[in-house]
Structure 1
C-alpha cells in the first residue's frame, strides 16, 4: 500500500505542467531586478530569454553561437525555434532535478507575434501561462538605466546604437503582444519608473492576489 501510494505520488509529480508567468517591458524597465525579488519571496525559477541566448552564444562549438551574436548585436529578435528550444530545455532540466519546481518566470519573451505563435504551437499543451507581468516604463528612463548599467555589465548591447534598435523593436513588435494578452485579461501592469522597493511592493500585491500563485 505504501509503495503504491508513493508510486502514485511520483507519477502525479511527473505529470505536473510548468506554470509560467511571462515578464515583459522595455530594455531597462526593471524586469531582471524584480524577477530576482520574486524568486526570493515566492520560490519561482527565473529564466531570461536574453540570458539563455547570450549563454548559448558564449559556448564553444554551439551551432547557434554566431547567429545569435549577430541578431543580438543588431537588436533583432532571434528565430523563435532557437529561443523556445533553450527555454524548454531549461524548464525540463529544472523539473528533472525536482518535479515540484514547476513555477517559472520567463522574462523578455514572447517578443513578437512569431514568438507567440511558436510558443502556442510547441508549448500550448505543455505549459500553463498564468499571466503577463508588464513593467511599463518610459523609453527615456529605460535608455538612461541601460546606459548606466552598461558601464559595468559588459553587455555589448548596452550602448546607444543598440538600445535605439532594441527600443524600436520593443515598440513595434512586443507592445502588440502585451495588447493581445490584455484583451484576454491576462496582463498585470506595474509602473516601472518607481524605485526598486516601491515597484516590488506593487509586484507583491499582484502575486498575493493571484489565486494559487504567490502563497507558497
Structure 2
C-alpha cells in the first residue's frame, strides 16, 4: 500500500504546480512575501492566535494542516488517500506536497504578509522549504507557542468532543503526534533559535494573555 501511495507524490506535485502560476512570477511584481512561521504542539492555540493576528495586523493565515485536510477531501484529488494515511497515523506528509499547497495558496491570495501555521515540522520540511521557497520569501520570525503535553491533549480532546471534525483529535493519534513533535519539530525550533528568529510564548495561559505578548512581538517587527 505504501509503495502505491508513494507513487502518488510526483503526480500530486505536478497537479498542484501546473494549476497555478509560481510565486516567482508574483514576486517580480510585488516583491518577496514576508512569512512568520507559527509552531507549537497540537492544541497549543496556534489557530486561535493566528485568527487574532489576522484581524489586527492583516496577515494571511495559512495552516499547513488545514490545506492538507482540505486537499484530502477535495473532489477528484489525486493524493487525498496519501494525505489521509499520514494524518491518521500522526506522521508527516511529503514536503513536496505541503510546499506546493502553500505556494499555491500564497500565489492565489495576492497578498504579501503570511502566517504559516504548523510548518516546517521536521528536517525534511525545512530542507524542502529552503529548496523550493527559500529564495522566494523573507522569513521574518518564528512564533513558538510552548505548552505541556497534558494541557495540549486536554484541549484537543475537548475540541474533538465539541465536533471539530478532525480525525486526529483522539488519544491514539495525539500520542503519535506528540512523539513526532518532540523528536522532529523541536529540532527545527532550535535551528531557528540559533538564527535569533524565535519568540517563545507561554501558551498555557489564557488566549488574551498570550495575544498581549504576541502583539508586542509583532509591533517590534
Regarding TM over 0.5, the answer is yes
Q: Could you list the per-position Cα deviations for residues 137-172 of structure 1 after superposition, in whole angstroms to 9, with x for gaps in the alignment? A: 011100000000001201110000000000110000
Alpha-carbon distance between aligned partners in 1 of 2:27 and 2:214, rounded to the nearest angstrom:
31
Find out whether 1:77 has 2:87 as its counterpart.
no
Structure 1 71/41 Cα, relative in aligned 2: closer, same or farther at 3 Å?
A: same
Distance 1:12 1:168, change over 3 A: closer
Aligned-partner Cα distance in 2 for 1:172–1:73? 18
Superposition deviation, residue 12 in structure 1: 8.8
Tell me how far apart the structure 1 counterparts of residues 89 and 177 of structure 2 sit (CA, whole Å).
8
Greater radius of gyration (CA): 1
Distance 2:173 2:125 in 1: 21
Q: Does 1:162 align with 2:177?
A: no
1:171 equivalent in alignment to 2:186:
no
1:89-148 per-position Cα deviation (integer Å, ceiling 9, x unaligned): 0000111xxxxx200000000000000000000111101100100001011100000000
Q: Which residue of 2 aligns with 1:125?
A: 135
Question: 2-side partners of 1:139 and 1:26: how far apart?
Answer: 8
Classify 1:68/1:12 alpha carbon distance in 2 versus 1 (closer, same or farther; 3 Å).
closer
Report SS of the residue matched to 1:20.
strand
Runs of 5+ unmatched residues, structure 2: 1-25
Is 2:215 the partner of 1:200? no
What is aligned with 2:201?
Answer: 190
Cross-structure match for 1:106: 116
Q: Which whole-Å CA distance do the structure 2 matches of 1:184 and 1:77 have between them?
A: 24
- 1:15 is displaced (CA, Å) by 3.6
Pair 124,111 (structure 1): closer, same or farther in 2 beyond 3 Å: same
Change (3 A) 1:12 1:132: closer
**Structure 1: any 5+ residue segments left out of the alignment?**
1-10, 96-100, 211-216
* Distance of 2:65 and 2:181 partners within structure 1: 13
Q: Distance in 2 between matches of 1:203 and 1:184?
A: 19
SS of residue paired to 2:61: strand
User: What does residue 148 of structure 1 align with?
Assistant: 158
Pairwise CA distance, 1:13: 7.6
> Shift of the alpha carbon at 1:53?
0.1
- Report the RMSD for the aligned CA atoms in angstroms: 1.2
TM-score after normalising by structure 1: 0.88
Structure 1 runs of 4+ with >6 Å offset: none
